[in-house]
Chains A and B, each alone.
Chain A
Amino acid sequence: MSDNEALWINQAIHGDDHAFGFLVERYQKPVFSLCYRMLGNSRDAEDAAQESFIRAYIHLKKYDPHRSFATWLLSIASHYCIDKIRKRQLPIVSMEALPDEIIADRNVPNPEAKFSEATREAMIQDLIMKLKPLDRAAVILRYWHEYSEVEIAEALNLSVSAVKSRLYRARQALAESYLALERLSIAEERRLYESPTL
């Protein structure tokens, strides 16, 4: 933790909103990114990220300065998103990133590359959304935030062995979903190019 950060935390504990604003400025991107990966759309991600910062501000006195502030903050955001997903109790599909809705924009430089990137992003998000909330959080922290298993365990209040087993199960599920998607896409391609039956 930088000296500035420790100072901002200390000032925010004593009611300085401006100091907490610096912390929001610094951590908005990782918190928003986590919420986006967890919830699958920008509107819910914005709401969850804002609420996570509000919760962090309210409970700032409970923060242990010996722990990483980023881990503590991402822990709050992860738990908030997990609760939100469980309350929905509905299958969650990313409405912003459905592959069918992606259209190559001819006005941008290299539209094919942009299109391919958007398709890949949509595919990743789609696969992630099929995981259980806690497994999803573990995968997001591992891949996008490069957290170790120990850090994930700390953030999600799990044991290290539980994190290992969740990551194992999540990777298995992701690989199966990916292979199923690939088989489907190959079958679709074959159907398109095969000769029509007479």
Chain B
Amino acid sequence: MSHQPYETYLFSGEHLDQDQQNSLEAHLMTCEGCADIAHAMNQLDQAFFSSTAPSPMPGFTDRFQARLAAHRLERQSRNLWLMTIGLFALASLIICTIMLLHLNQINWAYELTQFIARTSLVAGQIRQFLSILKPLRAGLPLFIPLMWMLTTISLAFIGVIFATWLQSIIRLYSSVQERGSKS
């Protein structure tokens, strides 16, 4: 027995006109298989439409706001990392390009030794400086925060550098003037 178009009528879920409805009903009287399907579809439709939609637990919006804040923090942190990596990559690229451009002029062994020696020297000086600061820090009143101390020291250091630079400019200028007056 052919079950078409009756199966299509049952499964399509579309509205049937009167002729289609009559022909389907006549078929269902004689076909047990299609009658079972019609019964199943009726039961399912009833069950679906009478089924209640589940609701979230109270406080969903508050949980969302908290999650959004956490998501933002995570994204900011990720962006910061990406920016750092990007800057590092850019700096490396620039250094590599400069090195490649002066490849023939560079004595690699000498430069490397010089770099290690200079780094060790600077590290040693910083260590000495910190060892001088240690008793000073202990003698200073406790209410002076460390950041203030560091800021003051940095400003003093910048001031010394600036004064030295200014002095060298003045000397250079005066020597140029002297040469001019002699000639």
Contacts and interface: CB of A to CB of B under 8 A. Distances in A.
Contact of A29 (B12, B55, B67): B55
Interface of B is mostly: helix
Interface of A is mostly: helix
Given A28-B61, A46-B56, A50-B64, A144 B51 contact: yes
B143 interface: no
A168 B11 contact: yes
B47 A123 contact: yes
A175 B51 contact: no
Given A124-B47, A175-B11, A175-B37, A32 B68 contact: no
A185 interface: no
Given A54-B68, A164-B12, A168-B11, A24 B47 contact: no
A33 B12 contact: no
Interface string B47-77: 1111111111100110111011001000000
Interface stretch (B38-46, B91-99, B102-110): B38-46
Interface in A53-76: 53-54, 57
A111 interface: no
Interface in A109-135: 120-121, 123-124, 127
Contacts of A174: 40, 44
14 contacts: A24-B61, A24-B64, A25-B61, A28-B61, A29-B55, A33-B55, A120-B51, A123-B47, A143-B49, A171-B11, A172-B7, A175-B10, A175-B41, A178-B44
Interface of A: 17, 21, 24-25, 28-30, 32-33, 36, 42, 45-46, 49-50, 53-54, 57, 120-121, 123-124, 127, 142-144, 164, 167-168, 171-172, 174-175, 178-179, 182
Given A17-B68, A32-B60, A182-B40, 20 more contacts: A21-B65, A24-B60, A24-B64, A28-B61, A29-B56, A30-B53, A32-B54, A32-B56, A33-B53, A33-B55, A36-B54, A42-B54, A46-B56, A50-B67, A54-B67, A120-B51, A164-B12, A168-B13, A171-B41, A175-B10
Interface of B: 7-8, 10-13, 36-37, 40-41, 43-44, 47-57, 60-61, 63-65, 67-68, 71
